[in-house]
Amino acid sequence: MDKEIVFNGRKYRPVFIGGYWRYRSTTDPRTYLARDKVSVIRGIDLKPSDVVHHINGDTLNDGMENLSVVLWGVHSSNHLTDLVRSPETREKISIGRSKPNPVRSQNIMGENNPNWKGGNSNSYKYRKVLV
């Protein structure tokens, strides 16, 4: 699969990323053909939370009739509707939603946590303190 496409003065090549074939630009900034087509032809600025969905599921078919723009969360929930989970997994998910995690509910950022080094990171606040 080595078909190169030119759109709006940029070259795009098929690449296999995340389990799907997509057309990605060969020059920086590395953008996807579907996002560029929607942005240029419809004249809209796409936010990072916007996903360009391929209606028929063929990610190499970047015709405008096959592209729609949806929010990331909506796109994810649409793809997860047919997901079949075991009863054990459903039980774990429902427990996780209904009762707080004892580790996360502790005073993570407070002085009572011996592993807290301070800082304003949004990642987990636990860091090993080397003594």
Q: What is the pLDDT of residue 122?
A: 47
- The model's pTM is 0.59
Q: What is the pLDDT of residue 125?
A: 47
Query: Which tokens is 27 given?
Result: 């020059």
For 101, 111, 122, 129, the CA distances from 118, given in Å and listed in that order, are 22, 9, 11, 11
- The Cα–Cα gap between 119 and 90 comes to 36
- How is the chain split into domains, by residue range? 5-79
Cis? peptide before 87, omega within 30° of 0: no
Closest CA to 63 of 31, 41, 48: 41
Q: What is the pLDDT of residue 86?
A: 78
Pairing of strands 5-7, 50-54: unpaired
Residues of the chain under the 50 pLDDT cut: 105-107, 122-129, 131
Neighbours of 34 (CB within 10 A): 25
Q: What is the pLDDT of residue 113?
A: 58
> Hunting for tokens 């606040």 — which residue is that?
125
